[in-house]
Structure 1
Amino acid sequence: MKNALIKDTLREIKRAPGRFLSVFLIVALGCGFFSGIKATMPDMVGTAANYFEELRLMDMRFISTIGVRSSDVEAVKEADNVRGAHAAYSKDVFYLHDDQTLVLKCISFNSSLDDDSPNLMNKINVIEGRMPSAPGECAVEVKISSPDTFRLGEMLTFTDPDDTKRLTDTLENDTFKIVGIVTSPLYIGYERDPTDVGSGTIVSNVFLREEEFITNYYTEMFVDLEGLDEKDPFSEDYRKSVEVQGAAAEKAFRESVMQRYEKLKGDADEKIAAAEATAETLEKIIDMPQDELKSTYIEYRRKAEAAKQVYEDEQAKGRNALLERSAMLKTEKALKAVGELILDGDDENGKAHTEYRAQLEQAYKDINDAREQTGSVGEPEFYCYDRFKASKDYSSFEGDSRKIDSISRVFPVFFVLVAALVCLTTMSRIVEEQRSTIGVYKALGYTEGEILSRYMLYSAAAAVSGSVIGSAAGMKIFPHMIYSGYKMLYNIPKLSAPIHPMYMLMCCIVSVICVCGVTVFSCRRELAEHPGSLMRPRSPVAGRRVFLERIGPVWNRLSFMGKVTTRNMLRSKRRAFMTLAGVAGCTALIITGFGLKNSIGSVIDKQFGQIYLYDGMAVLNRRCGYDDIEAALSGREEIEVYSQAVLNEITAHTDKGQYTADICVFDRPEKLESFIVLSDAENGSRLTLDESGIIITEKLAKLLALHEGDDLELTDSEGKTVSVKVTGISENYALHYVFMLPGTYEEKFGEKAQNNVAFIDLKKGSEREAFRQGLIKDERFYGLSYQEDQSSGVKNNLDSMDAVIAVLIVSAGLLAVVVLYDLASINITERKREIATVKVLGFFDRETDDYILRENMLSACAGLLLGLPLGRVLHYFVTVTAEVDMMMFDRTLDGMSCLLGVLMTAGFTLAVNIVLHFTLKKVDMIGSLKSVE
């Protein structure tokens, strides 16, 4: 008997494949979308993690302002939790291409390290060609901004950015042949390290053998820590582990560099003292008699030569920061002059005597200058970064993957709910259509459990096959579609998209519960009846007046078809409701997709067009005084208005959590509105800073659940924590800021704010690139970034979301088509006898279409209207969920997104009606009117 039920189930699928296929497609589409979007984030992170593990990306990066020596590397290797460490050289160079001077960065690689060496990190990935193995060879990156001469076999000639120096003083060669096209795990995107030469932007990196560099000190050090291999490299757990386990390495690096600094400073002081002593001796020698001069000249000449050699050795070791001007060299010149005086025997020559004494006085002046410069040189600065801080691309990739994960928490769930709703309707209708078959089974003696198992098998087959196939296809298709958008930003290899059994199992369980659950419910209701009543059609619903009939002026003005349509819609409320709900859900999904695109895209216009008003921000040399910077800025004719300011990283925290923010203190608060607009996040009114507290940005306030009047604790880089009152919350979309007056800063932190940036607004028509290059050449500035540089980086980051949004919109559109077609097909199937009747009564095809499809159109129109407020709610929910900690999207739903969502759904409805026109034409009048008795 069971075999007969199974055979009959298979025959039913074969007899009406469209019905089975409709359930299968709805389940497959819902599960495929859900599992595909959910799998995208782990697939992207997993692909990147494997890439970084294969190329052994460093865990930490150390830099100091006096360079890195081999002794520093050895000291770090001895620290706890350090698996390996190595240092690298780098040099920024100029490359002339098409009459344009580009800045390239030459980076060393150590070819002598074996693959098994713990000190090998940041392995270079060869795309084409090979790595350099001989002098004069190089490997280059190729990206969008790279020159078209970056091809295998091309020759590149570089020059030193300093016109007074030759590049061959730093590199063995200045011309290199390209032998390889490569990528580096240090640079997975299109952001490169900042530079203080040329345009301030590095176009591309060039990799050279370590032997090509002549300098005796390294630029940076990379560290690989133990015990982190099993951790997700983008997780908070990994970040905290690096911070804890890398503390010993950071301490060892700082101590080693400080010891070297103290030694260098001590040696410099000794050399200056020796030069001063020599100058004093020379002063005595000049006035000595001729015979005595000859006896002492040889001895002092020997000492001077030795001192000069020591100086030159020290200078070669990178001690220019301490001995920028050589008092020793000037003193030696004076000694040479005295020697000439002795050899000439012209001690009576007053003119020569005056000339040599002038040279000696100049030597004294140079000694004093050297002493002042040595005293003004502060302690070295240290920069210790983890992966997130060392590479903007790394942190950007992590942020992008988390955006997708955020969207996958809401949008696919709502998507699945809409699909499940339609699927429930479809299965209940299928069971109702099988009333007579259920009656026959009961009459033949089948038990209720056996009959139920027949329909359970049918529904389970559709649910399981749809969920498995849909999930598998979704996890292979959607991640690749989304990742294709990110490939434009990152040079990570081909995406690895495995099947995630957990997501497939989740989809399968939910699908079986939904589809089989409604099957059980529907069958139980039918099985409660007697076999005889089941084998007869269900009695039609008793006709009754609809409420519109009681409104005479309205009802009397309706045409016949209008009255029929109204009665049919209100008579079958469930059918109308399901169409209404399906269309409303699909409309809401499409509106949300378009709205999300606009919410993300408008961030650029609002942040960099309405909030940020300044043209550029210059980074100041903090060793230069306030007046020095003021003189430099006021002397620039291109500048319309400027203001020095503090822009430092701090930690803002409450009992809700802690987040990193930038504290901004303008030296001239009255000029703040010229550069940054502070407007109330709620009503848009202008905010004013005062001594009573601070203004924070909106996203930070929401994360920490802060309101005006609340207290916020701030911790600076030195660990000092202060509590400040929040007096305003400002509209802002990118990053977190805390705005404070100089007086408030001094009161809270106990010291004056030390300016480190200058906000600049240029006059109209100014040559921006010429101004940047001129400012960079000034030693009082480290660099200048224009607002468009910042906005382009944010725009590239946000543009990567276009692929995600496109997938959302297309998927919502497909769901709308499937839902509309499925609901309309069920409507036609249920009313075949009614359709056949009106055809027999003489209705033409167009009139039959109006009779049936007009209900669909009216239900769809009502669904469109309901979808607008539903889309607004869903858009807000998805937008808030999709935001990352450092970014806030525009949460306002624009009218164009609503219009596009309505038009698309209306277009799908019309397309479905056109297809159903041919289905209505095929309805057999005679066959459909046959009695089932």
Structure 2
Amino acid sequence: MSKRILWKNAFQSITDSLGRFISIFLLMAVSAFTFIGLKMAGPDMRFTATNFYRQQQLADLTVTSNYGLDRADQKIILHTPGLKKADFGYFQDSTVNHSRTAIRVFSKTDGISKYQLVKGHLPTNNRQIAVSSLLANRYHIGQTITLNQHSSLKNTHFKVVGYVRSSEYIDRNDFGHTNISTGQLNGYALVNKAAFASPQWMIARLTFKKTAHLNPYSTAYQNYVDQRQRHLQAQLNHQRADKVQRLQQALQAQMMNQQVSSAQTAKSQSLQSAALPTSADKITYTVNDRSQNPGYEIYHSNVQRIDILANIFPVFMFFVAALVCLTTMTRFVEEERTNIGTLKSLGYSNLDVCQKFIVYGLTSSLLGVLFGAIFGYLFLPKMIFTAYGANSTLTGFTPLFNWVWLIVAAVVAVACTTLSALWTLSVDLKESPARLLLPKAPKSGSRILLERVKPLWNRLSFKHKITARNLFRYKPRMLMTIIGVAGCTGLLVMGFGISDSLKGISQQQYGNIIRYDLVIQQKDPLAAAQSARLKHLLTSDHVQRHTSIYWGQLHRKLGEDHAQQNINLIVPRDSHSFNDYLHLQNRSTKRPIKLTNNGVVISEKLAKLTDSKVGSRIRLQDSNGQWRSFKVAGITEMYMGHFLIMNQHEYRHYFKRPFTSNAQLVTLKHHQDLQSFSASAMASGAVLGINQNVNNQRTIENTMDSMNKVMVILIGLATLLAIVVIYNLTTINVLERMRELSTIKVLGFFDGEVTMYIYRETIILSLLGIILGYFIGAWLHHFIITTLPPTNAMFDPNLYLSNFLLSAFIPAAITLLLALLVYRRIKHVDMLEALQSVD
């Protein structure tokens, strides 16, 4: 036999056992697709965002002040160490065309936080405006719109000339808060700087030299920006008293230059006392990093979730596929025992004998990896980006290529196919050709442990005894079937479990736990007229109930990324009726938690992050930077955000000051009244800001919906793996025992009985695999559900009966459907050929 014949024989083995070849190909393709696709999804999403930020030169820091930014502020900002560039601009919040649509109108930037043109052109004169591309369905190019609030603008009417996309607004639904209309912004727009008439800058955007070379999602970037942020905040705070004097001098000079009557002078003096801050504390500077941009942190958090899934799901999936491939190739070598003996007897070398298995293993595994990798690099990351992109304005997805994951997948595939075949083959090559030409002795039966349980064993029928003995007779196949089915079932339990853990969070959070519709933050102090208007509004027919509270914030750096977390501090005026607004209860026992004089109640995720338990103490930082220690009296169920709740007694005890309310929790009679009620509240002049739960709920639902789409993809992949695994193991079982099946068929067994003779074992092993898979899935679910959520959220950690039933149904249905395939194969088997196959 020539070398050419050996090559022909090697490739002919592929067509002769095409089913096995396709099984290995599919196992490797599905595994490589999942492994490479998930491993690349996170880096691809990061690169897409980073590329967009760099193209638009997104600011590292932004500075705003409630009294604007004057030349002294500008000087401090321009002397920030490491500064690359600073851009000073304006903005004005306004409603459009006398509607409730509130937008923030920015001035065009000079090279920092640039606006991406989507359609049309940018403003070229002071009467033109470009609006957010998300508002394209409301305002068409060429339309003239009216800005109702225009105190800082020279004009009130603007012609829409284009649609833009801002790098400062990544979320499609969240644009921040405002003090007009309903208190919620609906979008943004862009005009020329010369369109503003303000004497002071309103916003400064800064970029630094060092950050241009840093990954914006890296710890090094965040640490550097944090340092610059703290330094600039301290510098600006240091000169607040000087700014009060500058403002007073500017107003006095303005008054002296005007020729006014005594009445007008009195009016101007009254305006001065109302407008200027009475102390330096009234002037505030806000220095924000990128994390305050709507959608920036949510997108980053989504990418981190994908990274977590990529470290668990595909690795486990690859492990299951590898074990099945190892079993398949081992069986292939055993089938070729006689041919191996023939080649050795003809004088061929061990390398010549191995050639068929090397070709078969490399071709099936590497083709599978290559096919899976192509789709893994190009399609799965884009599918995941699209799932999350439904709530993001980011576009221009850019797939990357990384040799590492392709090499890892190829090495694992070759090890499980080619190397495993050569390892099995090495045992046969040590035997003489004469022994190899003889059929391998069948596995001998032996007594099993079940036989020692006489009362049970004696009650089993003959066929059930055969099944029991055969299960232990073929131990490797038994273990592979159990592990294969368990692995697939575990992945399904995890997938369905996470999907269910996401579904009910929004309803639980904003239906059962948080029962108010909005938080109204009141101005301090309130004029008598403002207080009267607010009181009239709260007692109107629209309001079902309301209660006074103190609303504040505490802070602490928590989580693996050590990011600053905001903790909502709530102190109700009436602790007895507070349960009507915020239902405090233990998640596990469902027992209600009352506010007592023995400590504070904290949300569950905050307790986990700080390792707090009932009776322990938790340290948090107040708005003045002072650390305070609170005793934990209860831990309440909460899924989004951090909360700390106490009664008035505990507030006086911990803060050493009397209780005063500064906000209202409001529950409306009809949810459709929310926007009109919010608009009326803002119009009263008594409201500093409004936080609508509907916005928070929409953000949660969008995030959960995106994650759920990803879980559907993973469930589909786990199902595909289950089909290939169970098919492969079933096929191996039938082929390996064809002579045995032919024998009992010759003895008069019907086709259905012959099928059940062998398939009864498959059903039992599948059931055992499903049960084991439950434990694997529960562990995977627990691990992922505790590491997947962002630092300020938690998911429902419970697994439900439906998760287990669905996860069992899929492998059970696949097993039963494959029984039909086995039945057809047994029905058409050539008994004589099978019995003579080793003669």
Please give the TM-score of this superposition, normalised by the length of structure 1.
0.82
For residues 592 and 556 of structure 2, the distance between their equivalents in structure 1, rounded to whole angstroms, comes to 26
Q: Which secondary structure state, in structure 1, belongs to the residue aligned with residue 106 of structure 2?
A: strand
Q: What secondary structure sits across from 2:68 in the alignment?
A: coil
Give the C-alpha shift of residue 479 in structure 1: 0.5
Of residues 396, 402, 409, the one that matches 1:500 is 402
Q: 885-894 or 669-678: which moved more?
A: 669-678
SS in 1 for 2:282: coil
2:217 corresponding residue in structure 1: 234
Separation in 2 of the partners of 1:765 and 1:652?
36
Q: For residue 287 of structure 1, what is the aligned residue in structure 2? A: none
CA offset digits 1:847-879 (Å, max 9, x no partner): 443344343333323333333333222222222
CA distance in 2, matches of 1:447, 1:616: 82
User: What is the SS of the residue equivalent to 2:177?
Assistant: coil
Partner in structure 2 of residue 292 of structure 1: none
For 1:598-617, what aligned pairs fall within 5 Å after superposition?
A: 598-617=500-519
1:385 corresponds in structure 2 to: 288
Query: Alignment RMSD, CA only?
Result: 3.4
Closer, same or farther in 2 for the Cα pair 1:900/1:687, shift >3 Å?
Answer: same
1:186 matched to 2:168: yes
Name the counterpart of 2:122. 131
Are 2:584 and 1:585 aligned? no
CA deviations on 1:280-311 (whole Å, 9 max, x unpaired) are xxxxxxxxxxxxxxxxxxxxxxxxxx433xxx
Q: Residue 692 of structure 2 is aligned with which of 759, 767, 786?
A: 786
Mind listing any 5+ residue stretches in structure 1 that lack a counterpart? 114-119, 162-166, 275-305, 309-327, 333-362
Alpha carbons of structure 1 residues 580 and 882: separation in structure 2 relative to 1, 3 Å: same
Distance 2:164 2:246 in 1: 40
Whether the 8 Å contact between 1:82 and 1:226 is mirrored in structure 2 is yes
2:140 is aligned to: 151
Does the Cα contact within 8 Å between 2:37 and 2:379 map onto a contact in 1?
Answer: yes
3-state SS of the aligned residue for 2:258?
helix
Q: 1:643 is matched with which residue?
A: 548
CA contact (8 A) 2:502 2:708 kept: no
Q: Who is 1:431 aligned against?
A: 333
What residue number does 2:198 align with? 215
After superposition, the C-alpha distances for 1:673-727 in whole angstroms (9 at most, x for unaligned) are 3322232355332333444433322222222333333333222343322333333
Give the corresponding residue for 2:108: 109
Q: Cα deviation per residue 1:589-623 (whole Å; 9 max; x = unaligned)?
A: 11211110110122212222222122211123244
Question: How far off its partner does 1:242 sit?
Answer: 0.6
Does structure 1 conserve the Cα–Cα contact (< 8 Å) formed by 2:168 and 2:294? no
Query: Is the contact between residue 81 and residue 225 of structure 1 (CA under 8 Å) also seen in structure 2?
Result: yes
Q: Is the 8 A contact 2:555 2:620 kept in 1?
A: yes
Counterparts in 2 of 1:53 and 1:923: CA distance versus 1, 3 Å? same
Q: Which residue of 2 aligns with 1:697?
A: 603
The farther-off stretch of 843-852 and 581-590 is 843-852
Match of 2:772 in 1: 866
Whichever of the two has the greater Rg, that structure is 1
- The answer for the alignment partner of 2:641 in structure 1 is 735
1-structure distance, mates of 2:790, 2:277: 47
**Structure 2 portions without partners, runs of 5+:** none
Q: How does 1:702-741 map to 2 (within 5 A)?
A: 702-741=608-647
The structure 2 residue matched to 1:262, chosen from 245, 252, 269, is: 245
Deviates most, 68-77 or 214-223: 68-77
Q: Distance in 2 between matches of 1:486 and 1:430?
A: 44
**Counterpart position of 2:189:** 206
Decide whether the 8 Å contact of 2:444 with 2:473 is kept in 1: no
* 1:31 counterpart letter in structure 2: A
Q: 1:160 aligns with which of 138, 148, 155?
A: 148
Q: Is the 8 A contact 1:137 1:177 kept in 2?
A: yes
Please say which of residues 247-256 and 412-421 is displaced more in the overlay: 247-256
SS of residue in 2 equivalent to 1:62 = strand
Tell whether the 8 Å contact from 1:142 to 1:204 is kept in structure 2 after alignment: no
Structure 1 residue 558: Cα displacement: 6.3
Range 234-243 or range 372-381, more displaced: 372-381
Q: What TM-score do you get using the length of structure 2 for normalisation?
A: 0.90
Q: What is the SS of the residue equivalent to 2:538?
A: coil
Provide the rounded CA distance (Å) in 1 between the counterparts of 2:123 and 2:6. Answer: 73
Relative distance call for 1:2 and 1:735 in structure 2 (3 A) is farther
1:204 Cα shift?
A: 2.4
* C-alpha distance in structure 2 between counterparts of 1:484 and 1:523, whole Å: 47
Q: Which amino acid in structure 1 is aligned with residue 115 of structure 2?
A: I
Assess, with a 3 A threshold, how the Cα gap between structure 1 residues 633 and 78 changes in structure 2: closer, same or farther.
Answer: same
State the 1:662 CA deviation. Answer: 0.9
Q: Give the AA of the match of 1:610.
A: N
Q: Which residue of 2 aligns with 1:196?
A: 179
1:359-374 equivalence runs, <5 A: 367=269, 370-371=272-273, 374=276
- One-letter amino acid matched to 2:428: E
* Residues 252-261 or 585-594, more deviating: 252-261
Query: Residues 441 and 186 (structure 1 numbering): CA distance in 2 closer, same or farther, change over 3 Å?
Result: same
The 1:752–1:631 alpha-carbon spacing in structure 2 relative to 1, beyond 3 Å, is: farther
* Aligned-pair CA distance for 1:434: 2.0
Is the Cα contact below 8 Å between 2:244 and 2:277 reproduced in 1?
A: no
Aligned position for 1:856: 762
Given residue 283 of structure 2, which amino acid in structure 1 is its aligned partner?
A: P
- 1:431-476 per-residue CA deviation (whole Å, 9 max, x = no partner) reads 2222223333443445657655764554344444433442343122
Q: Distance in 1 between matches of 2:119 and 2:53?
A: 20
Does residue 1:664 correspond to 2:569, yes or no? yes
Matched, 1:29 2:30: yes
State the Cα distance separating 1:818 from its structure 2 match. Answer: 0.5
**Counterpart in 2 of 1:84?**
85
The alpha-carbon distance between structure 1 residues 875 and 625, as it changes in their structure 2 partners (threshold 3 A), is farther
Task: Indicate which of 880, 900, 923 corresponds to 2:829.
Answer: 923
Aligned: 1:480 with 2:382: yes
- Matched residue type, 1:410: I
Q: Distance in 2 between matches of 1:816 and 1:669?
A: 57
Cα displacement (A) at 1:36: 1.0
Q: 1:176 maps to what in 2?
A: 158
Summarize deviations over 1:402-433 as a string: whole Å, max 9, x none: 11112222222221221122122112212222
Label 1:520 to 1:689 Cα distance change in 2 as closer, same or farther (>3 A).
farther
Asked if the contact 2:548–2:661 (Cα under 8 Å) also holds between the matched residues in 1, the reply is no
Is the CA contact 1:484–1:803 (under 8 Å) kept in the aligned structure 2? no
CA distance in 2, matches of 1:655, 1:871: 25
Give the letter aligned to residue 284 of structure 2: E
- Tell me by how many angstroms 1:84 deviates: 1.0
Partner of 1:40: 41
Given that 2:11 and 2:359 are in contact with CA atoms closer than 8 Å, whether structure 1 keeps it comes out as no
What is the aligned length?
A: 832
Find the residue that maps to 1:215 and give its secondary structure: coil
